[in-house]
Structure 1
């Protein structure tokens, strides 16, 4: 053990050194590209300086400006634009070369020219609001200041009604010089040095000693926290009673971890003195579980990555070749098509690069720890009490499928008959066969036994495992099935068999309110096979769309059907003549801004999109996968806008890009493309329509859960209206503090430097943010409840002799041999958690935080249903 302790100390030293190296390398890369404004110290220094310089410039502008001279000439130009973005642009130019001296004359002109472009851009956006928004969106997609500037100048020059104000070179230099002088005077971060070069006098802008000291101190501070957390080879330090720091890593090379990820020292001090026995026990049980690298999976993963074919959802090792440029004789249409294809390719490459960075980091970590018999993962809590491995982002039992596939328990336990049964259930779940009974899942594995054995014996030649929902975990099971085939039920298994909650957010809310309808849909009640709330919602959506949209016809017929409904709406609004009706319909389906439409035209437009995009969805296909993410995130506060973003991200954007690529590469014809992509444009309208339909279907399916969420939001608004932030205590006594404050400043929008978002650009006020607090309370309460359930499960499992855990919020895993015990423990803990309606206690706590004058406005809790909690003990599929 002593040798391993020394090894662990050296590993922790390496974690620290690697983190510092990575941070310094990122800074160096920014320096080389002239982007120091985007380093952490650049952002910090700009943040400190921006408001000071803005106030100073405002004061000068408010003085008597009747005097002549270069000074007032600069102020005249600066008055033409919104001041803060102009100062921000000047600062970015200065800070982008803060480590290297630059000639003052050149810098003045660069800043003046950029401010001129920004002033013109602001004027253009003000005069042409809709076009300006679209232009801003296009500019944001372009990489580099020069490309964005050319885009804006082209639009401005080609707009007849807009006159671009071009400043002469002298004016640009004067404006730039004024900005630099303000920044020098008010920040003390720069100074001007006179030098002689080739018998000429030159002026350079250089950072002051205080500026360099600030950078050095910042880098030193960041180096303390830029640790690359990795697994451990000895059991982590326990989380002890009387302390909220120091669990996990063992050496002074790493700053002590906090039990809860927070910087609030007062909160941590309070935690240290609280009796949180169950919570600390759960943390310790999770991090004391010994793991081991699955060498079989690691070997195949290395080979598959080398093949560079995206096998089993791995990222590409080498990016695809650039699309060939069109010939000089290409038509304008062909050039536009090339540009669109190139943009699509760039997005694919960028997405693949992000995935590759994560994957390579995980793979490298697994290779580093492959020789150790036992490895461990330190855990800590978030502010809601959820358990997280601190190595998330690298190798972790809570990571992506490939990360989980690389790990199995260090201890091996003989399966036995029941263990083999659960291992087969687990395999079926991984393969996506999880909406049938347990016996049918086992039968599926038995039917495909030979194929799974062949996968385990030669994975690169037998690829059924790659078709799994979670292929790398499925491969790990295939390897074990080979052992079972050889040794029978005496085979010693290391695979964590997971039992997952059935839409746990709704399970928690349904149990709170004893809602029988919600309980039935999320498997809290016994049934012969699992209920599928995602399919239930999908069926409701299909029925709703089919009630207004025609099926089994082409798009023209759908448009005509929409126009017939538009005529009915027009008639209701008193539009009677054919000419007026035609004009109203044409206006409704035109690009006319919504705020310019009459109420009749707005209603007509809505029904048009609902019918036409609804027809497109019916043609495209609506399945349980279409609605799954929306239903899952609903109890965590996601609503129509969130649903729309999810549909775009999960379905529409990937499909559009895939089909566009196939069309460009000649794999499909234009007719086939239109057949497979029936939506308008890139799918935004379709996403809006389906988001509305899904929201209506979800709220109609889980009425009580929706009522509970609404109650929490109303009450949260009263707390923040009382000037207080929101806090509550979980059933296990963990104190949750939901601290969202209004900010004085959140965004700086510039035409050419893009949009910068810094939540801490200005200091937070002491006024609670009502909107953020109301939106967050439902997901945060639900998360704090599923965290309590997990901790109770761990505590009860320990009493049953279970000592290995794979825990991910609403997913509970242990050895297959112990899964029968865990199966019962999960349900026992859930029933115990909700034996009393937790919302009653929550109401008492929240009401106490509401000012007395508002307490009469606290709404009553939704009425409880008649769900029999004891029935959960008999529900096979509540956690399956």
Structure 2
């Protein structure tokens, strides 16, 4: 019987992580001590790295002893990650079932006393949900007989195909998990454990059809010069018929190269290896063209080969630098030197940039950056800060003791077992106890600052902490093998080039320059693109769970609300409802929240991967490497389980991705600065309790609580609703207030500094800055804080564009020509100058603008230009000028379909004044309404004089996103409710009527575009139902796209979600086109030396280069849509999803007919209209 409380704690943690089984003699852990404990269905306590479902998706189990009162055992709701897709750093492969299909059960022990959802309430909720489910099932109509027949005929075939596909994915996932595990074991000198596991799994001969796992062991064995170990692994591969890879032979030659040249028989071994390579059809030269090396392994491999080939000299791989897409063929020509400029010319010196690079690397390696808060220092409670600092010192020692204790127990259990299982300890052992203490201390500080009312789920917290551990482990590995030192040397060389891109006479873009540096130094030390081991998602999650249990089980705080100030857990697990689900969240103790609120008034902490960079981003040069210096950031933002697009990226030729990578680099290399005048004003208003008028959030204290009431049940029910609404509004205000606090504090931190915004993209290719807080991709005030660090003189046209920008931001002259806007700017010039000089005490003209903060920033630039001693043309301006697409989604549809009327309405054709598609649609709707009114249609008569641009604008705007008639009706009803004289019933009838008329009008204007949208929809429906696949395509710039929508979003082996696949394909494809257009524009602007930034279909540049940017923008749109986009899409979908004609020629079954239909639809490219695309080149208002 184990009686030590600490030992019980550790054993419970180990069982929680599936690495230890509690003996039957161990008592249940007392309540309020530990959290959730996961065990496998067979009673084992080991990690199942490749479970088909996340561990948290568990079924409940009953108490082992219904009379047991020593602990609490209750059911846990199935917990899944949040619906929204979080920013994920690092790459994953899916979590599929391993060789053992084990049920995962969950016992919830020791739920803290402060739980927002009692067990009884959760039980009632489940009963309600269950009842709802049964009602829904009974109300479903019976399937048609034809559908039943089709199902019966094809169910066996579909099941067999699904089982084969599932088995393939399971095999890939398990090999990936085992490779990671064996590599960790070998790196931590756990060779014996690794070999036991490899021998056991090899004996089954089930999952080993490639050399991937064996190569991982061979690689580490070669580092130890263990020929005996290599010989054993090679024999396993030969006995199992496993094909040898270049990596297999490279490891063998490295080991031979490490041996003493005096040893007898080395030459014969080398000759045998060369013979084996010949037998396998492999060339020894290819080892040095395809394999990656660390340290001196490249030279050792060559030395081993020279034992049999004394004159052998290894070659080096050549790296292609140019594009393969015809859209960018012109950029393959050598850059003209006069067009290349430095983005920070005259702003920084070489020694300054080197120092900033070291600062950026240091902050990324530490993981956390502390900055000063902008809140009023006079309101800080110094005693509370002192108490918090004292508490953190106490916790530091508690965490250290807990880490040492739990890691020791985990190690002892790992060493004591010989079972064929994967264990968490090799992944934990890579860092020292001091590393974990630092990480957990940072995590506690972050947790203390979470909202008392809301936090991300426990699942997300564990995942993010596991990712931090993986990041630390990978950085440590880079230090050990020399990659980090070499990286610093090459990055400093890159920064020198960034400062002086024409200095050496070699003119490259950032990606090409970095590739040149890699080639130049590839024979020195480690390869920087050496394949790094990514931990499986289940490992990341389990590591986070292990560490979070230390926080939850050991950190205490004095609870002064009770008598005697007893110690209570500093953090609790609570359940909060989201729809019909109960999600586990972490809630800090109220006393801790109060203490940290005072800390936040003094300083804030941020993850370094969420901040701008103080040195230029690492150029994206592969799909794995780019952005931050050593922090992992994904090229494409995807949820953990969406591995299909990751695999597509892995298998895509490098050159095909160059356009997307270079576009991200072009945006990321633009340096930014803070607009100090706007920042000072925003901070002043923020610290003065905010402003509703200026959209500066007020603190939650500004919200008056509801008045307490007493009375009967109806009054109490009303008061309860008011309190609930008050709590919800208070939480919203707190979230907005914190967001603005972080943004303004970060802006203040970067004041007078130059910084960069690394970018990545979503699965469609739309780009986003990696920093979520300080970025131009945000609301009005956030955008006004940023301007280009490198300024340019306004020149002859720049001042007019600056004045036009002011007018465009107000939104008052959208349908007026440029000449009228300039005239109006001159007319209101006194108001512009008054706004610039007296923003808070003057007439406040800027406050009435659609975008007030950006308008104010532009007013200040106009005033400064007018007061420039040399005149406005000589004024050096840093303010970006915006050029927006005119309903850009419809512009792409009109170009695809060549619709004449539609193209004219969205400014694809030149005109004297800008066209407004919303007004044009409203005119057509009014025409149809008038006809119906003349025919005595009652609702048409009631709506006389009510149809305006505003009523139908949202519906027209969201047409490109596939809005349904139901959605359109809701949008229009919202506008009609604001109009006088209409009853609720008339609003609903009128909304349905206008929704139909709006769709009819759009179809009249965009006839071909409507057919294209219908083709997209029907194709996606058939692909996801008949072919049973997710819809995918390749963008015109070469980016592979896969829609990650499955019925079970956390298991991509499940069938596609047909509804989502069908509805999302049209808007997603159009978004992939607008991102392609932006990328082409960015690359051509970069070649011309034009500063370029974008927010999707809003392009930014200096005032003096607006005309040139607009010209490039129009040229690239025409170039893009001159490609056979729809024909290429049809060919790709046919190659991916269509059946061979010979396979279905005589198949008259329902499934065969469906496959015929799929083949037919995919080939039916919609017809086009007669619009001349070249007219776009002359359209001034295309982007304006």
Q: What TM-score, normalized by structure 1, do the two folds share?
A: 0.64
1:621-770 equivalences under 5 Å are: 621-644=946-969, 646=971, 678-680=982-984, 690-720=994-1024, 721-743=1026-1048, 759-760=1049-1050, 763-770=1051-1058
Partner of residue 750 from structure 2, selected from 369, 373, 395 = 369
Larger displacement relative to structure 2 (839-848 or 809-818): 839-848
Shift of 1:113: 7.1
Compute the displacement of 1:340 (Å): 6.7
Q: d(CA) in 1 for partners of 2:1053 and 2:1083?
A: 41
- C-alpha distance in 1 between matches for 2:1112 and 2:679: 33
Cα offset, 1:786, TM superposition: 1.0
Distance 2:816 2:918 in 1: 14
- The match for 1:381 is 761
Q: 1:718 and 1:112, CA in 2 relative to 1: closer, same or farther beyond 3 A?
A: closer
Per the TM alignment, residue 212 of structure 1 is displaced from its structure 2 partner at its CA by 12
Residue 787 of structure 1 corresponds to which residue in structure 2?
1075
Question: Structure 1 residues 277, 326: closer, same or farther in 2, change over 3 A?
Answer: closer
Indicate yes or no: 2:617 matched with 1:236: yes
Q: Which SS does the other structure have where 2:1059 is aligned?
A: helix
| 8 Å CA contact retained: 2:57, 2:79 | no
Q: Is the 8 A contact 2:1074 2:1096 kept in 1?
A: yes
The alpha-carbon deviation at position 647 of structure 1 amounts to 5.3
Is 1:429 aligned to 2:808, yes or no? yes
Out of 838, 841, 855, the residue aligned to residue 458 of structure 1 is 838
* Greater relative contact order (Cα < 8 A, sep 6+): 1
The match for 1:221 is 466
Measure the CA separation in 2 of the matches of 1:338 and 1:548.
48
Q: Is the contact between residue 815 and residue 913 of structure 2 (CA under 8 Å) also seen in structure 1?
A: yes
Check conservation: 1:715, 1:859, Cα contact below 8 A.
no
The answer to whether structure 1 residue 796 and structure 2 residue 1084 are counterparts is: yes
- Output the CA distance in 2 between the equivalents of 1:705 and 1:825: 25
Taking the aligned partners of 1:128 and 1:452, their CA distance within structure 2 comes to: 61
Separation in 2, partners of 1:269, 1:737: 13
Alignment partners' CA distance in 2, 1:118 and 1:767: 26
Matches within 5 A, 1:174-323: 220-223=465-468, 229-240=610-621, 243-251=622-630, 254-258=631-635, 261=638, 264=643, 265-271=646-652, 273-307=654-688, 308-322=690-704
2:697, 2:740 within 8 Å by CA — same for their partners in 1? yes
1:391 aligns with 2:775: no
Is 1:115 the equivalent of 2:123? Answer: yes
The SS at the match of 2:755 is coil
Partner of 1:53: 59
CA distance in 2, matches of 1:46, 1:115: 26
Is the CA contact 2:776–2:783 (under 8 Å) kept in the aligned structure 1?
Answer: yes
Whether 2:798 is the aligned partner of 1:419: answer yes
Q: Does the aligned pair in 2 maintain the 1:397–1:806 contact within 8 Å?
A: no
Structure 1 residue 825 and structure 2 residue 833: aligned? Answer: no
**Maintained 8 Å contact 1:635/1:778:** yes
Within a 5 Å distance, the mapping from 1:217-616 to structure 2 comes to: 220-223=465-468, 229-240=610-621, 243-251=622-630, 254-258=631-635, 261=638, 264=643, 265-271=646-652, 273-307=654-688, 308-322=690-704, 324-325=706-707, 348-372=729-753, 374-392=754-772, 394-432=773-811, 433-462=813-842, 463-487=844-868, 488-545=872-929, 615=942
Q: Deviations over 1:31-56 (max 9, x none)?
A: 99x9999xxxxxx99975687636x8
| 1:65-106 CA-partner distances (Å, limit 9, x unpaired) | xxxx999xxxxxxxxxxxxxx9655999x9997565679xx9
The answer on whether the counterparts of 1:396 and 1:404 sit within 8 Å (CA) in structure 2 is yes
C-alpha distance in 2 between matches for 1:515 and 1:544: 21
Structure 1 residues 95, 689: closer, same or farther in 2, change over 3 A? farther
Distance 1:790 1:303, change over 3 A: same
Q: Report deviation, 1:842.
A: 1.1
Write the distance in 1 (CA, Å) between the matches of 2:838 and 2:1170: 53
Assess if the C-alpha contact under 8 Å between 1:514 and 1:866 holds in 2: yes
Q: Return closer, same or farther for 1:732/1:122 CA change in 2, 3 Å cut-off.
A: closer
More displaced 10-residue stretch of structure 1: 520-529 or 269-278: 269-278
Gaps in structure 2 of 5+ consecutive residues: 1-30, 38-49, 68-73, 81-104, 139-408, 414-422, 426-457, 472-606, 1145-1155
Inter-CA distance 217–272: structure 2 relative to 1 (3 Å threshold): farther
Q: Is the CA contact 2:764–2:1041 (under 8 Å) kept in the aligned structure 1? A: yes
SS of 2:881's partner is strand
Aligned residues of 1:718 and 1:858 also touching (Cα < 8 A): no
For the residue of structure 2 that corresponds to 1:311, the secondary structure is coil
Question: Is the CA contact 1:513–1:704 (under 8 Å) kept in the aligned structure 2?
Answer: yes
Q: Which has the higher helix share?
A: 1
Change (3 A) 1:838 1:475: same
Higher mean displacement: 625-634 or 806-815:
625-634
Name the CA shift for 1:119/1:739 in 2 (closer, same or farther; >3 Å).
Answer: closer
Whole-Å separation in 1 of the counterparts to 2:760 and 2:796? 36
1:712 to partner: Cα distance: 1.2
Q: How many aligned positions are there? A: 634
Alpha-carbon displacement from aligned partner over 1:459-491 (angstroms, at most 9, x marks no partner): 112311111111111111011011122122221
**Cα displacement (A) at 1:877:** 0.6
Following superposition, the deviation at residue 536 of structure 1 comes to: 1.8
Deviation at 1:120, TM superposition (A): 7.1
Provide the C-alpha distance between the structure 1 equivalents of 2:120 and 2:726, rounded to a whole number of angstroms.
36
Give the CA deviation at 1:691: 3.9
Native 8 Å contact 2:659 2:1037 kept in 1: yes
Shift of 1:121: 8.1
For 1:256 and 1:635, locate their aligned partners in 2 and report how far apart those are by CA, in whole Å.
31
Indicate conservation of the 8 Å contact 1:711/1:859, yes or no: no
Change in Cα spacing, 1:53 to 1:283, as seen in structure 2 (3 Å) is: closer
Q: How has the CA–CA distance of structure 1 residues 865 and 48 changed in structure 2, closer, same or farther, with 3 Å as cutoff?
A: closer
2:112, 2:1183 → 1: CA distance? 63
Q: Check if 1:840 corresponds to 2:1127.
A: yes
Mapped to 1, the partners of 2:464 and 2:1083 lie a distance apart of: 43
Quote how far apart the aligned CAs of 1:247 are.
1.1
Give the C-alpha shift of residue 371 in structure 1. Answer: 2.6
Q: How much has 1:277 moved relative to structure 2?
A: 3.1
- CA pair 476-331 structure 1, distance change in 2 beyond 3 A: same
* Structure 1 spans left out of the alignment, 5+ residues: 1-30, 38-43, 61-68, 72-85, 131-207, 551-560, 566-606, 656-674, 744-758
Change (3 A) 1:475 1:775: same
C-alpha distance in structure 1 between counterparts of 2:829 and 2:1003, whole Å: 42
Q: CA deviation at 1:845?
A: 1.2
Counterpart position of 1:181: none
Could you say if the C-alpha distance between residues 96 and 629 of structure 1 is closer, same or farther in structure 2, counting changes exceeding 3 Å?
A: farther
Q: Does the 8 Å contact 1:244/1:260 carry over to 2?
A: no
| TM superposition shift of 1:309 | 2.8
8 Å contact from structure 2 (residues 1046, 1052) kept in 1: yes
CA distance in 2, matches of 1:442, 1:321: 43
Is 1:774 the counterpart of 2:1062? The answer is yes
Once the two structures are TM-superposed, the CA of residue 443 in structure 1 deviates from its matched residue by 1.3
